[in-house]
Structure 1
């Protein structure tokens, strides 16, 4: 018999693309289903009430992001080596720390959400009587991001299960919104349907992660109490830096929605949110390379492959650049038609601001490997500095621009901030790589 040669191991770029492809299969379904529940909500509630729901959701998600630790990054950055070395006590220590971070996030986020709904409903331009419903919706903050579970599944290369995460949430929301639409239900029932999606996604990820941990024997002897950060140098600084950076990145979106609603009213907030939904949906296929990129960079970093990390980042940037050009062209040529077809004629007016949002998303896609590079090199603080400077400058200009130019002003500022962020990350990554190369040269000389 002729021996069959073993298959050649896949290169990092092949693994990134393969894992991103698995995520894409689920996110493609999610993009359609997500637009479906947004459309059901918009057509049932109308522009004004839809805007109120959008602002309440943005408020809850913003506070969730403020309190939320990016503990999945801690799992990958500090759990990759113990997993490879089969160091069970150290791996369980990383897991224990990540779960602690998630617990702190949930408690603080829910407390801020409930209290904020009662205190600031008028400033957020919620109608009278909505503060109680907003406070109830804030309970979903505790389950909005199953960060530890997500980190574990990324570390285990279980991307096919991650692919279904958002689809599960969107399917539950779509079914709930469909029932609400058929029953001509008021806004509070639509809020219940949206919150149910967050709970469904959380329990799905938690169940899959626990099953994988048990199958690998990683829960043997695990206790929820015990050492957390001991022997993990810089872990709290890393966790705080990635948390703050993630808060600025994701919370930035929800603050914008609330700012537009507070200055221009719920209708304009609805336009902004719907345009952002479509823009993010168009950019999603390329952005799916980012969660697949983090584990590969962490593995290359652990093996000391600085040049391989750079090569992988350049390959991803080239692919992202091609994707960015395509999605911007689609928005410019067919954006209004997409909005009117999916959301209804009344929402075609969001096309102008959506083009700005798509342009900003395109810049983000072109520069998407830069921040993962910095985080993988344990330079999360450098990424945080860049993001913080850009966010401060953006908000300093945002309110005058909105008052002067309306939604177009907010959109133009969004493009400028995406460009500044990309340039800042690029120069920080170059500096960090030069420093690592110098350190390697000194080590070789010794």
Structure 2
């Protein structure tokens, strides 16, 4: 088996491992949500969703994608057995996690206490919401995830969300059995992300220790020194992720503001089904990043390009299949999953799946840019596309309703794919072609590693 084929097979195997974990998590998740819904009345269930969504949104917005820093700046020193530099990368990543966590907790607590009435809960619920906001500090931690991806330990990552959901299920079951009040369910839901944080943290530290990478490690020391461009990279990946989260929520809020809550509900349901259909393909992304980082560290630009082409071809096949399923079975699928009352979301779901398919087709473009430490260029594309999208969104929704929102989403996905493709072409051209010896060296190194 060639080195490139070996890498591609490993990407697919790791994505499959993550998919298995997500499937288990989805089943457990439905169970704890069902128990909670039966233990609380609809009003308090809604409050639980509002509080947890508020904390999750803040966590995602302030979160540095520190796992990206671990991969892109840690792969080379790991392969070269440069322990001092690798430990510096880990120390910087931990600093990013802690800093963003503290910022998120501060905004979360203040927001929950001062603006609860605007966010949907009363003054007597504000202390509970503020306490739940403390979980933001574990939501923003991604160093352990980055280490496990770098070490190719995806089987442990597959269990991360399942651990969180299992803890929530146990806590919700106890609360339901004891007919406990609202705060007990909130506590059970808070325990989930804490358990997942401890789970990946302990395993990541064990993996570090087994490789001798904890010897002499200090929390205090140099951060960005001798890591060229690391701060620019960290901020670019942070802003890009925050923009992606905001992008998702803005369109739902806009539909609700212009067309009413019922239409917003149909839009959200269609989006959930579309995202669910696209999820298996998107799981290739976290499996792709560490392989690209390692190939770059070995100087294998040619191998990086070949891997990206292989992923793009696979993405194209998946995208075509998704569109075919939606066009043929969209309404029956919605009726089966959500009930006949929601089949009205089928038309807009076609737009949403089309946008998701375009994103899948362009799946390797942004990871390639990030792996070439050009995250700032990917961010630039996102900023331009998002600005144009926001300018077009309100007129399109006002004149065409949900079809206008769908058209805007497809247009944004198309513009994002074209923008990333053109930017990557320019970046590859400016980086120059690798010579054959360099590519051969990368292939030999990967071949020596073999499949794990």
Aligned residue in 1 for 2:288: 293
- The residue correspondences of 1:30-429 to structure 2 (distance < 5 A) are 30-37=25-32, 53-126=48-121, 129-177=124-172, 190-259=185-254, 270-344=265-339, 347-402=342-397, 407-429=402-424
- Shift of the 52–274 alpha-carbon distance from structure 1 to 2, 3 Å rule, reads farther
Give deviations 1:269-291, integer Å, cap 9, x for gaps.
55444443332222121111111
CA distance in 2, matches of 1:320, 1:211: 35
CA distance in 2, matches of 1:125, 1:281: 28
Q: Secondary structure of 1:227's match?
A: coil
Give deviations 1:361-395, integer Å, cap 9, x for gaps.
22211111000000111111110000111122222
Deviation of 1:169 after TM superposition, in Å, equals: 2.3
Deviation of 1:44 after TM superposition, in Å, equals: 7.4
Structure 1, gaps ≥5 residues long = 1-6
Deviation of 1:341 after TM superposition, in Å, equals: 4.1
CA distance in 1, matches of 2:185, 2:362: 36
CA contact (8 A) 1:55 1:269 kept: no
CA distance in 1, matches of 2:6, 2:186: 45
Deviation of 1:300 after TM superposition, in Å, equals: 1.6
CA distance in 2, matches of 1:435, 1:271: 46
CA contact (8 A) 2:101 2:140 kept: no
CA distance in 1, matches of 2:127, 2:404: 33
CA contact (8 A) 1:62 1:255 kept: no
CA contact (8 A) 1:173 1:196 kept: yes
Instruction: Single out whichever of 163-172 and 273-282 deviates more from structure 2.
Output: 273-282
CA contact (8 A) 1:272 1:350 kept: yes
Deviation of 1:199 after TM superposition, in Å, equals: 1.9
CA distance in 1, matches of 2:275, 2:331: 16
- Shift of the 135–78 alpha-carbon distance from structure 1 to 2, 3 Å rule, reads same
- Shift of the 111–281 alpha-carbon distance from structure 1 to 2, 3 Å rule, reads same
CA distance in 1, matches of 2:88, 2:409: 40
Equivalenced residues, count: 436
Instruction: Single out whichever of 162-171 and 273-282 deviates more from structure 2.
Output: 273-282
Aligned residue in 2 for 1:4: none
Give deviations 1:229-276, integer Å, cap 9, x for gaps.
111111111111111111112343244455555666666555444443
CA contact (8 A) 2:100 2:140 kept: no
Instruction: Single out whichever of 362-371 and 189-198 deviates more from structure 2.
Output: 189-198
CA distance in 2, matches of 1:355, 1:40: 32
Deviation of 1:177 after TM superposition, in Å, equals: 4.9
CA distance in 2, matches of 1:430, 1:263: 39
Q: Secondary structure of 1:11's match?
A: helix
Q: Secondary structure of 1:230's match?
A: coil
Give deviations 1:39-82, integer Å, cap 9, x for gaps.
66678778877665545444322221221111111101110111
- Shift of the 294–112 alpha-carbon distance from structure 1 to 2, 3 Å rule, reads same
Using the size of structure 2 for normalisation, the TM-score is 0.85
Deviation of 1:204 after TM superposition, in Å, equals: 1.4
Deviation of 1:360 after TM superposition, in Å, equals: 2.0
Give deviations 1:283-331, integer Å, cap 9, x for gaps.
1211111111111111221222222211111110110111122223334
CA distance in 1, matches of 2:343, 2:420: 35
Q: Secondary structure of 2:55's match?
A: helix
- The correspondence for 1:431, drawn from 384, 406, 426, is 426
- Shift of the 281–74 alpha-carbon distance from structure 1 to 2, 3 Å rule, reads same
- Shift of the 8–415 alpha-carbon distance from structure 1 to 2, 3 Å rule, reads closer
Deviation of 1:218 after TM superposition, in Å, equals: 0.8
Aligned residue in 2 for 1:23: 18
Structure 2, gaps ≥5 residues long = 439-452
